[in-house]
Amino acid sequence: MQPILAPSLLAADFSNFQQALNRIHHYQAPWIHFDVMDGSFVPAITFGAQVVAHLRPHSKTFFDVHLMVENPERHIESFAQAGANSITFHIEATHHAHAIVQQIHKIGCKAGIAINPGTSLHHLEALLPFVDLVLVMSVNPGAGGQSFITETLIKTRTLQALRNQQNLHYHIQMDGGINAETLPSVVEAGTDILVAGSAFFSDSHVNALLHSLQG
């Protein structure tokens, strides 16, 4: 499939989310990526479900929520009610990942599992038959504008091979440091959904990013 662009609101002007939505609609990005940080799983705090709920009436775009939070099970219901289409949580944030995937599905959302650069893929192999999306972090979570960690591409390649071998159906997403220069290697490795924050919201970088996406 043609890779999907998921602009991250993390790089938007937080005083004007409507303008950010307008930009996403203008470039016809199919997904919007919401980076939720709790000040505990990662040091920064961004926003919660209320922001998602307030933006929902203003967009028909697929809402992709990336929870960088401890105790993700406490937040599934509020983000689902706010209008999330997909909810992704971190394998590092819980001992009960399978139960949380079930919780997300039960409430009617797609379920994703995210993995940090320093965590081995072995920790989530058992989950692969149950998830709709695997988010391979290509930077350490917590901030936008970091450099792409090239070594994470091996996880994407492995996930693509496992999907073929086991006839599974999850999407593979990469998040962090994706720009016009790094994008070709990300696509080549088998990524289906590309998150881009700073490159998408920068007027001087967005055209090169989209050009690179079109191959």
Which is nearer to ligand DX5, 82 or 183 (by Cβ)? 183
For the chain, give the number of residues: 215
Question: C-beta of 27: minimal distance to ligand DX5 in Å?
Answer: 15
Q: Is there a binding annotation on residue 38? A: no
Question: C-beta of 119: minimal distance to ligand DX5 in Å?
Answer: 14
Q: Which does 9 bind (CB under 5 to 8 A by kind): Zn ion, ligand DX5, none?
A: none
- Residue 211's nearest CA partner among 192, 189, 190, 187 is 187
Token reading at 74: 């406490």
Q: Is 146 in the site for ligand DX5 (CB under 6 A)?
A: yes
Token reading at 166: 């086991």
Question: C-beta of 147: minimal distance to ligand DX5 in Å?
Answer: 9
Residue 35 known to be catalytic:
yes
- Residue 193's nearest CA partner among 127, 123, 138 is 138
The owner of tokens 């929520």 is 65
- Residue 206's nearest CA partner among 196, 215, 194 is 196
Stretch that binds ligand DX5, among 79-87, 138-146, 182-190, 202-210 (CB under 6 A): 138-146
The active-site residue, picked from 13, 175, 192, 203, is: 175
Query: Do residues 178 and 152 make contact, with C-beta atoms less than 8 angstroms apart?
Result: no
Alpha carbons 205 and 43: distance in angstroms, whole number: 28
Alpha carbons 66 and 43: distance in angstroms, whole number: 15
Q: Is there a binding annotation on residue 138? A: no
C-alpha dihedral, 85 to 88 to 89 to 90, nearest 10°: 180
Of the candidates 178, 183, 206, 210, which one interacts with ligand DX5 according to CB under 6 A? 178
State residue 130 phi and psi, 5-degree precision.
-105, -15
Question: C-beta of 114: minimal distance to ligand DX5 in Å?
Answer: 8
Stretch that binds ligand DX5, among 73-81, 93-101, 153-161, 170-178 (CB under 6 A): 170-178
Q: Is 112 in the site for ligand DX5 (CB under 6 A)?
A: no
**Which residue ranges make up the site for ligand DX5 (CB under 6 A)?**
8, 10-11, 33, 35, 66, 139, 141-146, 175-178, 195-199
Give binding residues for a divalent metal cation as ranges: 33, 35, 66, 175
